[in-house]
């Protein structure tokens, strides 16, 4: 009997602890970061499940806790999450770089490309030691040290177009026609066997007619006698 009573007491204590935990308005320190991250993310996304969980957490921990999570006053939200959900527009320099890359990929004239080329030229003319950017030292391209064997190096900024295998392809492309076994210039070929057979039949008919004419002539000659 005493053992059964002890077990009942332990079960009651466990149930009371769970009930107190459910009714408690304080969040467990080990779960605080995860809970605040969910509330912070649900406020800036349109995921239905996150909104449902957010309402449960707000009802459980109170509006003050939810406001702290939304404003990130305690800096408990991971930096990776805040950067991904940030609504701050990108800088003008970053936008220009993106547009320049798009213009370069699609061969569209863009003023950002000219500004980029001017920056490279100014950096090359700054007088730094060593070969300037965009140039290759002629000594590295010389063979045997002779002047005639040296390759003339052009500035990269003066090159109109460089092959870029990693550049994105245009979404609109016209592919060249593939080789095919079909005859592009078909010629109607007439079988000569039919014509030859027709000619042979015509010759046979003419021979028969000649024989009939000869027989008729003979009959007429016999009648005259």
Spatial separation of the C-alpha atoms in residues 137 and 121, rounded to whole Å? 17
Candidate ranges 75-79, 143-147, 218-222; pick with highest mean pLDDT: 75-79
pLDDT at 147 over 50: no
Is the residue at 125 inside a domain?
A: yes
pLDDT digits (tens, 9 = 90+) for 88-97: 888 888 888 8
Domain shared by 144 and 105, yes or no: yes
Residue 124 in contact with residue 133, Cβ under 8 Å? yes
CB–CB of 161/171 below 8 Å? Answer: no
Same domain, 38 and 61: yes
In a domain, 181, yes or no: no
Cα angle for residues 89, 90, 95 (degrees, 5° grid) = 130
Single out the residue in 136, 156, 176 at which a domain terminates: 156
In a domain, 177, yes or no: no
Same domain, 80 and 98: no
| Rounded mean pLDDT, 140-156 | 44
pTM score > 0.75 for this model? no
CA distance 109 to 216: 97
- Same-domain check for residues 61 and 97: no
Are 73 and 116 contained in the same domain? no
Q: Is the domain of 150 the same as that of 103?
A: yes
Residues 61 and 99 both lie in one domain? no
Q: Identify whether 18 is part of a domain.
A: no
- 70 and 96 share one domain: no
Domain boundary among 138, 156, 174: 156
Domain boundary among 100, 125, 156: 156
Of 59, 55, 56, 61, the residue nearest 32 (C-alpha): 61
Same domain? 45 vs 76: yes
Least confident of 63-77, 116-130, 189-203: 116-130
User: What pLDDT, in 10s, does the model give residues 90-118?
Assistant: 888 888 888 888 888 888 888 766 655 55
Look at the chain and report how many structural domains it folds into.
2
Residue 161 in any domain: the answer is no
Q: At what angle do helices 63-71 and 48-61 cross, to 10 degrees?
A: 130
One domain for residues 47 and 70: yes
Mean residue pLDDT of the chain comes to 71
* pLDDT score recorded for residue 35: 92
Confirm whether 37 is domain-assigned: yes
Residue 98 lies in a domain: yes
The domain of 52 spans 23-84
In a domain, 113, yes or no: yes
């Amino acid at each position: 009997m005493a053992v059964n009573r002890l077990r009942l007491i332990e079960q009651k204590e466990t149930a009371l602890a769970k009930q107190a935990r459910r009714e408690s308005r304080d969040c467990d320190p080990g779960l605080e970061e995860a809970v605040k991250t969910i509330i912070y993310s649900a406020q800036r996304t349109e995921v239905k499940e996150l909104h449902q969980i957010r309402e449960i957490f707000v009802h459980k921990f109170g509006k003050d806790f939810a406001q702290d999570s939304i404003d990130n006053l305690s800096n408990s939200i991971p930096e990776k999450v805040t950067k991904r959900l940030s609504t701050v527009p990108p800088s003008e320099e970053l936008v220009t770089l993106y547009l320049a890359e798009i213009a370069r990929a699609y061969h569209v004239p863009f003023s950002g490309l000219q500004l980029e080329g001017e920056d490279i030229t100014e950096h090359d003319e700054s007088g730094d030691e060593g070969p300037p950017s965009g140039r290759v030292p002629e000594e590295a391209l010389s063979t045997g040290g002779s002047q005639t064997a040296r390759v003339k190096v052009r500035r990269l900024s003066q090159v109109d177009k460089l092959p870029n295998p990693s550049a994105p392809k245009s979404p609109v492309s016209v592919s060249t026609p593939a080789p095919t076994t079909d005859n592009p210039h078909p010629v109607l070929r007439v079988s000569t066997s039919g014509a030859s057979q027709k000619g042979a039949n015509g010759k046979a008919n003419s021979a028969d007619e000649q024989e009939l004419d000869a027989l008729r002539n003979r009959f007429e000659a016999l009648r005259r006698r």
